[in-house]
Amino acid sequence: MGALAGRTALVTGASRGIGRGIAERLGRDGARVGVHYGRNEAAAKETVAAIEAAGGSAFAIGVELGLPGDAEALWEEFDRHADGVDVLVNNAGIGTSSALGQIDEEEYDRVFAVNVKAPHFIVKRGLGRLRDGGRVINISSGLARTAAMPDLMAYSMTKGALDVFTRDLSKVLGPRGITVNSVAPGIIDTDNTAELLHGTEGGWAQAAALSALGRVGETADVADVVAFLASDGGRWVTGSWVDATGGSLT
């Protein structure tokens, strides 16, 4: 029996990258996993298939975030597959933003709608579905606390807002035994960082040098931290910001 046997998880943005790694790990731990995706249905089905091939159970939910009514639509789709959730991972997000001199109001509003507003209302609309003793895990970023990267200012601001949400939500949900934490990755090898790591000369070496461990992170490095917080072993950790940057902030 896995650590999450009999529990249901929902991971937003789980069709690829860090989200897929988290979904697959929670599936291996025994959870039935809702694999949310925005547009790439084929990728989400691949994630579901991978979970099932490893002996787990999963289902796909397709709802584009950042639009009016997105949270309600997501839960309506979820309700077709499950009657409650034990682990909610707010992972979906826009992973970049234009610099101050280039960003316009439309892009600014979009990145905040997906990265901040969506998780806020997904939780709000999901309170009746989230079981007592459950887990909420928000995927933040090392950029919320590390040295400034002004070219990603708006993106970094969204993650700072998400961390405040984590802190305050832990007090709201604590009486129900629900823990709430932020997990902050550094540079992880995904399609979102492909240009930096693989398309830039010396990019991989520069990224590896940022970590105290001297390597670039993998999705499993983040997924394993999330899995701990989702398990009974993480029961006494709440309201925390967990550094999963491989020592990039030291």
- Architecture of the domain defined by 8-190+219-239: 3-Layer(aba) Sandwich (3.40)
pLDDT tens profile 132-191:
999 999 999 999 987 667 889 999 999 999 999 999 999 999 999 999 999 999 989 888
CA 158 centroid distance within chain: 13
pTM of the model: 0.96
Q: Give the percent of the chain with pLDDT over 90.
A: 87
pLDDT of residue 148: 66
Average pLDDT over residues 199-219: 89
Cα separations (Å) of 16 from 5, 23, 191? 24, 10, 8
pLDDT tens profile 76-99:
999 999 999 999 999 999 999 999
Q: Is 108 assigned a catalytic role?
A: no
Selecting among 59, 75, 155, 165, the annotated active-site residue is: 155
Identify the residue with better confidence: 206 or 51. 51
Mean pLDDT across the chain, nearest whole number?
95
Residue 194 scores a pLDDT above 80: no
> How far is Cα 246 from Cα 208, in angstroms, rounded to an integer?
10
Confidence class of residue 199 from pLDDT cuts 50, 70 and 90? confident
Contacts of 179 (CB under 8 A, 6+ apart): 134, 135, 136, 170, 173, 229, 234, 235, 237, 238
User: Tokens 């998780």 map to which residue?
Assistant: 119
> How far is Cα 152 from Cα 235, in angstroms, rounded to an integer?
34
Amino acid present at 123 = V
